[in-house]
Structure 1
Amino acid sequence: MGKRSRQRQKTQNTGRDNRDNAGWGAGYDDIVKENKLFEHYYQELGLVPEGEFKEFMDAMREPLPATIRITGYKSHAKEILHCLKEKYFKDIQEVEIDGQKIEAPQPLKWYPDEQAWHTNMSRKIIRKSPLLEKFHQFLVSETESGNISRQEAVSMIPPLLLKIESHHKILDMCAAPGSKTAQLIEMLHSDIDVSFPEGFVIANDVDNKRCYLLVHQAKRLNSPCIMVVNHDASCIPTLKIDVDGKKDILFYDRILCDVPCSGDGTMRKNIDVWKKWTTSNSLHLHGLQLRIAVRGLEQLAVGGRMVYSTCSLNPIEDEAVIAALLEKSEGALELADCSGDLPGLKWMPGVSSWKLMTKEGTWFSDWSKVPLNRQTQIRPTMFPPTDPEKLANMHLERCMRILPHHQNTGGFFVAVLVKKAPMPWNKRYPKLRKDVSSSSAAQTEGSPAASIPAGSPCPPDSAVEDGAGVKVDEEAPKDLSLAQETTDKQDRVYGPPASKKMKLFGYKEDPFVFLTEDDPVFITIQSFYNLSPTFPKVNVLTRTHDGKKRHLYMVSKELRNVLLNNSERMKVINTGVKVWSRNSDGEEFGCAFRLAQEGIYSLQPYIRSRIITVSVADIKVLLTQENPYLSKLEEDAHAQAKKLVMGSIVLKYIPNPNNTEEPQCPIQLCGWRGKTSIRAFVPRNERFHYLRMLGVEVFRDKQGQAQKGGDGEKEGEVKEGVENDAGVVKDAVDLDLENDDKIGSIEPEKELMD
């Protein structure tokens, strides 16, 4: 692999971990927040309204407010919101630190249903008050359970503008670490009564190691409709699916194209950008951003929407890319008018004129003025179109620019493209020769691929659409220096399992093996749980060809379709949700597989036996006592339990709409019916989550011991294992998982030398 190819990989990866991991307003005290070149550049461009530049710069130097988003499916989200507003936010209003009242969290006006909140409280302030410490523990625990996401406010915008529906096929091109991906999954599952939405999310990232952080984020939502893949986004392979017995091309209804960028909109949290910012960063990233966007549009269905976004304010990375896409599309694309989509969000319209500057301070406003020795770094697509009529028809004012001082956020750029027709190079050149590789086709003068804008390394989609059979090459080897570098704290927590072997192409993944309807494993499962005839057995998979099956997973019908038809061209890191785990003890009671909590909400609609309907009081007993006797359950649940033989069970709470004091969302827990006792098989953070929903507050005191209170229960009933886990969770989740910004290369001089 040549230096250029390795550098493209590095450009997509470098700088993504140079972030303020504190995440609660803390910064690097030794970094001076000054960059004269930055100020001069943006003053000259005039992107900030007249008279506001000082306010803009003052805001850039202030710590970024902490923002949280309530995740999960809608009914559970309402319960979390109720808990936050009625308990923690009310308590915070009464807190004083050093004689000053703490500002209570406020909802983001533009985020639907009060599901996102921001606060100026720093971690230091939080630790000064016991009441605030409880709030912090609540955030930490609920974040690990997947019910709350610490995500920057502007990062929440792109998924909202995609307008996701449950049947949409979605591609997230540059997904890690996954906060936006989580939003996409939630939107697919907006109707909690639909266990298996028709749509799915394919989340891609070029960095093999960061794909595992992406898996961790996605797994918290327990969805059968997510697949994590590992490819270079600029040449992500075209996938095939089976449609009525015939092979067809997979075109996506929605694409999120949140590209790597210079990241100057993140200076409020990524403090080191102040000293490393230079105009060269944008010049070097423009080509990569354009190639990724072009590849996305090639795979977008006609009528579909693609959101292009960056955390950069530089027009070279923003409007210049959009203008180039619109110009090359010859009318196939249209910028959507999103002015009414997020009421309450303050934003500036996109600009239609700009110029660029080299790091030496030389300005260019027209491609014709760029000297020959500069034309390898400065490209024609970096300038606005010269034809006034063509420029006016682009409607670049429909792009959205978010400035930090307008709503106390980071800087951001977002544009929504609607595909009205196939891309012109797809229509114009229907076929490529079978023996022409994508790279050689792109370089051949007069060939179809020669007309693909921005030197896209991929062949036109039509080559595959029309059955030409273009060979999809294996992914290029990763940069070994990146693969072998010492992992940081995030990778140690969220990296691949220790058993995985590092290969030239990344970690070796176990195979995805789908079961057949007549697989022997279903014989006992079918009878033990009395599965419905509609249960989709063919959607169940395991991760081994040989030996006993340890875990069984489920994917949605359409993801199964994708997996079966693309195993040779797609590198899958993870997919599906665990629904059963082998339990040898259960074999003597009738079934060797117990239910897994991760997949219970997807699986339970198909289970017709071994279900115990429980009350709020029953759930409190089951979640606070390790192995309570059956007699501890209320009469109704006790009678149901006595009728069942030993083994795995479902504990199901059905809300009573006439009793608003109790949770108004269904709760389903996995359990085990023993000889004389019963227990819940629920991860400890989820135990804390459900207990809080039931009005039982679980927190740690100053000595680190778990406490329980809020409804008169005795302290100390939460067992030692639960207490210890609270500390472990805190250490894990204090990592800043909100960083969805894709910061590109910050070593432009080295890149030019390569």
Structure 2
Amino acid sequence: MARRRNFKKGNRKTFGARDDSNAQKNWTELEKENPKWEKYYKDLGVIPENEWDDFKKTCQAQLPLTFRITGSRKHAHEVLALFEEKHLPGLTNVEFEGEQIQPPKRLPWYPENLAWQLDVSKQVIRKNEQFSKVQRFLVVENAVGNISRQEAVSMIPPIVLEVESHHSVLDMCAAPGSKTAQMIEALHSSEDEPTGFVVANDADARRSHMLVHQLKRLNSANLVVVNHDAQFFPRVKTDKETNQFLKFDRILCDVPCSGDGTMRKNVNVWKDWGTASGLGLHTVQLNILKRGLNLLKKGGRLVYSTCSMNPIENEAVVAAALRQWGDKIKLVDCSDKLPGLVRSKGISNWPVIDKAFEKKEKGDEGTTESWFPPSAEEAADFHLDRCIRVYPHQQNTGGFFITVIEKVGSDSVETAKRATTEEVADEAAVDKKQKTEDGASAAPSAPVKKEKLPRDANEEPFVFLDPKHPELEKCWSFYGIDEKFDKSTCLVRNAAGEPTRVIYYTSSSLKNIIEANEDRLKLVYSGVKLFVAQRSDIECSWRIQNEALQIMKHHMNRNRVVEANVECFKMLLIESFPRFEDMEKSHIDDNFVEKMKELSAGCAFIHVDRGEDKESMFLPVWNGTKCVNLMVCKESTQELLHRLFGIEVTSKKPAAEPKKEEGDASVEQEGKSEEIAGDDAEKSADTA
């Protein structure tokens, strides 16, 4: 990888004055060498001598492209079949510049063959036609949430965490969100709506908003994103009527680390690596783990992980937690999990090397006791060999460390007292931190408000609506929403607390959490868009948003659901605003046209039965007086055309522009966006 000088945008005189030869001189190849790194890991002895050259060479090589097919969707195996049948054959026995290219391979340890690895360079992906097609396929499927491009070793922690649909889950350091996404998928893996939820936290406000962008495409009403320092994550009330606090079933502590396991994709690690980073982060990592253990319920499971190979950040942190918690926690033996994953065991002995690269002994000035390895007696009790180490050369991945911890409790009075003291001290530190933050956020002369945490100018409150609100009553009646649907969990995000443009829906369990913790949690995001306001001159001025359909289709009657055949569905994907008159002439689906003409104008739904072994389609349409429009975004349109009909589309354009009456605003027709169903689009649909 190369680095380039940063020329300011618009400084054309300076940039243009350089010829090609001078421009080339501005590129400096970063050397993937670091003698201290090499000596440290050679002396550590975690890599057998006969494997060292392979290990180092792999660390210097480009990281392969890996992706997984999201497992929470019914059509995951349909997407897998598309990849295996349409793309995989063209990627086998491929030559590039005289060299045989390895075909994609399954990650053998990932469940149901849903994760894949491409051991090819970016140059091959760009220049080879077959690999370029795969790249486009991945981009389209990723955009609609069917595929996640994720580093292979990053997929391990959520799998061994073993999230189930009823679990309360906390991801303490969630950004950028790929592991959080896996846990949300696990939550939604059963046919029934999950009763559990995921709390995704990140200490950095900007990264927490990036996290929202990554997770919104999963359309989960069982997610809340918050912004806290994980070391001082606040206790969460279960509801506002009691003083009971939540203990989580599952917690992921994927902590900040020095990241030398990422040196294949983060080339700066080579020049910046030193022992100081690991030593400095150790206390923060231990604080996060301790906080996670305090928030974990008895019988619950916590995964501690880093993308570092340094034992100071790994086994030393785990050993310190075991030392403090005694027999209330234990390490879980995962040797029978993830069959096919090549791994190494955790270690119980390591040197402590300071930033001057001098070896330190316990008790030396400037050292922290928990840096040092356990005693022989402790090592026998701790079972650090149950930790998982994955090295880059073992299966062409990044480096990773994973430990599974179970909170088992103890009948020992002494251990219980020690753990209780630890928890009390921890809660005191959290309360102190929160009071400091609240006080710092308020004006010096003003008292701190207790009812809610302060919000910045861009944040809106979470206000739940009365289920009997007149606007909601219209929706319940128009769409025939049954009594099994929890109508009390609809919310808006505006200071007035009134439904004006968007109404969101969140799960019942999260409603209690949100309402009970406005004075504790810095809420960033929760809920999926349920209803979006449309024109006011029709029977119901609200339409159901596509992202909420997987929930709502189980709770509405069939009054506004129309059956369509496969050919009609294909036509609706290809054409925008097809006229009923033209559809009748083509006889593409007479029953569909007849039923749509009987319905009043507004939001309706089509159901397409594709056969027993295939996923049926259930999607929203906008029903006009003379035409109909499938309300699917451009990315989903492209994906459906490719997956269901083998049609590749790079830019979606309608077959014909809808006619507009005088005074109608112009309608943007480049692809069919869900947001197209504003007033102007609907007027065009009615007048086309």
Range class of TM-score, shorter chain: 0.7 to 0.9
Length, aligned pairs only: 620
Aligned match of 2:231 in 234, 245, 249?
234
**Shift of residue 505, structure 1, vs aligned partner:** 6.9
Aligned match of 2:473 in 500, 510, 523?
523
**Shift of residue 589, structure 1, vs aligned partner:** 2.2
User: Matched residue of 2:238: which SS?
Assistant: strand
Distance 2:200 2:555 in 1: 28
- CA distances 1:610-646 after superposition (whole Å, capped 9, x unpaired): 1112222122111111111235351332232232111
- Counterpart in the other structure of 1:131: 130
**Shift of residue 176, structure 1, vs aligned partner:** 0.4
- Answering whether residue 368 of structure 2 is matched by residue 379 of structure 1, we say yes
- Counterpart in the other structure of 1:537: 487
- CA distances 1:555-588 after superposition (whole Å, capped 9, x unpaired): 11111110011011101100011111000x2x32
Summarize the Cα distance change of 1:389–1:270 in structure 2 as closer, same or farther, 3 Å threshold: same
Amino acid aligned to 2:471: V
Summarize the Cα distance change of 1:221–1:473 in structure 2 as closer, same or farther, 3 Å threshold: same
- Counterpart in the other structure of 2:67: 68
Distance 1:544 1:37 in 2: 55
Distance 1:211 1:475 in 2: 18
- Counterpart in the other structure of 2:620: 670
Summarize the Cα distance change of 1:257–1:643 in structure 2 as closer, same or farther, 3 Å threshold: same
Distance 2:617 2:235 in 1: 40
- Answering whether residue 621 of structure 2 is matched by residue 622 of structure 1, we say no
Distance 1:650 1:426 in 2: 60
Distance 1:94 1:315 in 2: 42
- Counterpart in the other structure of 2:394: 406
- CA distances 1:480-539 after superposition (whole Å, capped 9, x unpaired): xxxxxxxxxxxxxxxxxxxxxxx9976641111111121111221122111112221101
Distance 2:577 2:233 in 1: 50
- Counterpart in the other structure of 1:597: 546
Alpha carbons 2:311, 2:350 under 8 Å: kept: yes
- Answering whether residue 250 of structure 2 is matched by residue 254 of structure 1, we say yes
- Counterpart in the other structure of 1:580: 531
Name whichever of 34-43 and 540-549 sits farther off. Answer: 540-549
Amino acid aligned to 1:582: A
Summarize the Cα distance change of 1:689–1:507 in structure 2 as closer, same or farther, 3 Å threshold: farther
Superposed, 1:181-220 pairs within 5 Å as 181-191=180-190, 193-194=191-192, 196-220=193-217
Summarize the Cα distance change of 1:29–1:149 in structure 2 as closer, same or farther, 3 Å threshold: farther
- Counterpart in the other structure of 1:494: none
Distance 1:94 1:128 in 2: 16
- CA distances 1:283-308 after superposition (whole Å, capped 9, x unpaired): 00000000000001100010000000
- Answering whether residue 307 of structure 2 is matched by residue 307 of structure 1, we say no
Distance 1:102 1:618 in 2: 42
Superposed, 1:390-405 pairs within 5 Å as 390-405=378-393
Amino acid aligned to 1:367: K
- CA distances 1:222-265 after superposition (whole Å, capped 9, x unpaired): 0100110000000010000139x644211100000000000001
- Counterpart in the other structure of 1:417: 405
Percent of pairs with identical residues:
39
Superposed, 1:239-318 pairs within 5 Å as 239-242=236-239, 246-318=242-314
Amino acid aligned to 1:85: E
Aligned match of 1:571 in 517, 522, 525?
522
- Counterpart in the other structure of 2:502: 551
User: Matched residue of 2:117: which SS?
Assistant: strand
Q: Point out where structure 2 has 5 or more consecutive residues left out of the alignment.
A: 1-26, 442-452, 658-666, 674-688
Distance 2:75 2:172 in 1: 29
Alpha carbons 1:425, 1:451 under 8 Å: kept: no
Alpha carbons 1:474, 1:569 under 8 Å: kept: no
Distance 2:550 2:144 in 1: 15
Distance 1:132 1:558 in 2: 44
**Shift of residue 208, structure 1, vs aligned partner:** 0.4
Distance 1:715 1:403 in 2: 56
Alpha carbons 1:201, 1:227 under 8 Å: kept: yes
User: Matched residue of 1:295: which SS?
Assistant: helix
- CA distances 1:49-72 after superposition (whole Å, capped 9, x unpaired): 232111111111111111011115
User: Matched residue of 1:337: which SS?
Assistant: coil
Aligned match of 2:325 in 325, 329, 334?
329
- Answering whether residue 611 of structure 2 is matched by residue 656 of structure 1, we say yes
- Answering whether residue 435 of structure 2 is matched by residue 473 of structure 1, we say yes
**Shift of residue 30, structure 1, vs aligned partner:** 1.6
User: Matched residue of 1:227: which SS?
Assistant: strand
Alpha carbons 1:426, 1:460 under 8 Å: kept: no
- Counterpart in the other structure of 1:6: none
Distance 1:78 1:619 in 2: 21
- Counterpart in the other structure of 2:591: 636
Alpha carbons 2:236, 2:245 under 8 Å: kept: yes
- Counterpart in the other structure of 1:737: none
User: Matched residue of 1:242: which SS?
Assistant: coil
User: Matched residue of 2:251: which SS?
Assistant: strand
**Shift of residue 696, structure 1, vs aligned partner:** 2.9
Aligned match of 1:367 in 362, 371, 384?
362
- CA distances 1:149-203 after superposition (whole Å, capped 9, x unpaired): 1100000000000111100000000000100010000000112x32x31000000
Distance 1:259 1:60 in 2: 22
Distance 1:80 1:450 in 2: 47
Amino acid aligned to 1:642: K
- CA distances 1:366-395 after superposition (whole Å, capped 9, x unpaired): 413x1x2x2xxx210111122x22221111
- Counterpart in the other structure of 2:58: 59
- Counterpart in the other structure of 1:164: 163
Distance 2:106 2:598 in 1: 48
Alpha carbons 2:328, 2:415 under 8 Å: kept: no
C-alpha RMSD of matched pairs (Å): 2.9
TM-score, structure 2 normalization: 0.85
- CA distances 1:108-140 after superposition (whole Å, capped 9, x unpaired): 010011111011222321221333322211111
Distance 2:167 2:551 in 1: 19
TM-score, structure 1 normalization: 0.78
Taking CA–CA contacts closer than 8 Å with sequence separation of 6 or more, which of the two structures ends up with the larger relative contact order? 1
Distance 1:43 1:120 in 2: 27
Amino acid aligned to 2:494: T
Alpha carbons 2:250, 2:301 under 8 Å: kept: yes
User: Matched residue of 1:650: which SS?
Assistant: strand
Name whichever of 568-577 and 627-636 sits farther off. Answer: 627-636
Distance 1:414 1:152 in 2: 15
Instruction: Point out the structure with max Rg over C-alpha.
Output: 2
Name whichever of 262-271 and 47-56 sits farther off. Answer: 47-56
Summarize the Cα distance change of 1:314–1:284 in structure 2 as closer, same or farther, 3 Å threshold: same
- Answering whether residue 561 of structure 2 is matched by residue 611 of structure 1, we say yes
Alpha carbons 1:88, 1:135 under 8 Å: kept: yes
Alpha carbons 2:93, 2:103 under 8 Å: kept: no
**Shift of residue 599, structure 1, vs aligned partner:** 1.0
Summarize the Cα distance change of 1:665–1:52 in structure 2 as closer, same or farther, 3 Å threshold: same
Distance 1:403 1:646 in 2: 60
Distance 1:682 1:478 in 2: 46
Amino acid aligned to 1:579: L
Alpha carbons 2:325, 2:415 under 8 Å: kept: no
Distance 1:42 1:679 in 2: 61
User: Matched residue of 2:200: which SS?
Assistant: strand
- Counterpart in the other structure of 2:644: 694
